[in-house]
Each structure stands twice: as structure tokens, then as C-alpha cells.
Chains A and B, each alone.
Chain A
Amino acid sequence: GDSVTQMEGPVTLSEEAFLTINCTYTATGYPSLFWYVQYPGEGLQLLLKATKADDKGSNKGFEATYRKETTSFHLEKGSVQVSDSAVYFCALSDGSGTDKLIFGTGTRLQVFP
């Protein structure tokens, strides 16, 4: 079945460092891809998404490009801030119209001043 694999954390960075969190997927159809973020004590929030190959999702300085050839959707940010500390989840929707999401395990990001 469909699945999502993302790098284990925690990822620990200094403020203003470059961030990459890897995410790869396995899907039989044409999924949409998502990154969700969960700040401490809060629910998951949609960070960005891409619905077809070569689409780039972006929000709050974060970017991810839907790469069908490598089945990847890596999350990047050029300069992280302490406020970016959170857990990041990569997810896919199988495109069947059911709105079901399949999640990766989540990657905790810790940014220190």
C-alpha cells in the first residue's frame, strides 16, 4: 500500500542554519503531498502542499518540490528560527477523493539561539 518515509529526528540546528528534512513516498496512483507542522501543545497545521509532479509548495519560508522521478518531497528552509521548533510530518493523500492522509513518523526540529 501507499506509504511515507521521513528522516528520523531530532534535528538540532542553530538559528539561521539551513534545514532539510527528507521525505520519500510510495504510491500507486497520483498522490497529493503535504507537510504538516505541530507546535507544542497544538494540533497539526498544514504547512504546505503540492498536488502534482514538479509543483513547489511554499509557506513561511519553507519549500518542498514534488519530485516524481525520485518519489520525494523534501522540506527545506534557508534560515531557521527558534520559533520553527516543532514536529514536522510528511503526508500523502491518495487522490481517491476520500481525503484520507497517510503520514510519516514525524521529525522533531529543535532550533537553538
Chain B
Amino acid sequence: GAVVSQHPSWVICKSGTSVKIECRSLDFQATTMFWYRQFPKQSLMLMATSNEGSKATYEQGVEKDKFLINHASLTLSTLTVTSAHPEDSSFYICSAALRNTEAFFGQGTRLTVV
């Protein structure tokens, strides 16, 4: 299947700083990318849907000013966690898809805010 690369795999940052996570589709052009968040022993929760060249659509309860999503090209979407706090510590996962086709997932990013 197609490959989606997520970087970094893990990151530790200080409280109050910002962290950027990249999601790249390596061998296909993704019209849509999704960002998920997973807490321990819980399901993946969709945070936002990102379409190339347009603003991301955020799920209810997700702060768009805190979780900035940029989908600048058909192969790259970024998630920036601004002014991170310990409660933002989580596992973030992206997926990329062509319209109405299978979504391919990155390997995830473990964020720890200290």
C-alpha cells in the first residue's frame, strides 16, 4: 500500500513551547488528510480534517487556535501544537487519502510535554 510518513516519531517539549508534527504522503497525492489523537487505552479521536489549499475542519471540542493545521500541498500536512501543556501529551496520528479511497496512516507521534 501507499506510505505515509509522520515526523517526528516522538518529541519531548517544555510547557509553553510549540511543537510541529509533519505528515507526508510519500508516493501519492492526498486530497485529504486527517489528524487523530489517542489517549492511553482509548480510541483514536478525530481532531480535524484537512483538505489541500483550504482551511481545516475541526471536530467539536477541538481548539483550532491551539492545534494549527496547515495543508500546503498534496503531500504535506502539518499539525502545530501551540503553547503546549502537559495535558496535551498524547499520541497523534495522521492519515492521508484520495477521495473515497482507502486512508493510509502514519506511524504516529508521541508528544510529551514537561
Contact = CB atoms under 8 A, between A and B. Distances in A.
Contact of B108 (A43, A98, A105): A43
Interface in B64-114: 93, 95, 97, 99-100, 102-108
A98 B44 CA distance: 17
A41 interface: yes
Contacts, number: 50
Chain B interface residue bracket vs A: 20 to 34
Contacts of A102: 43, 46
Given A99-B100, A105-B43, A45 B32 contact: no
A42 B104 CA distance: 12
A43 B46 contact: no
Per DSSP, are chain B's interface residues mostly helix, strand or loop, or mixed?
Answer: strand
B49 A100 contact: yes
A105 B46 contact: no
Contacts of A29: none
Interface string B18-51: 0000000000000010101000011111100100
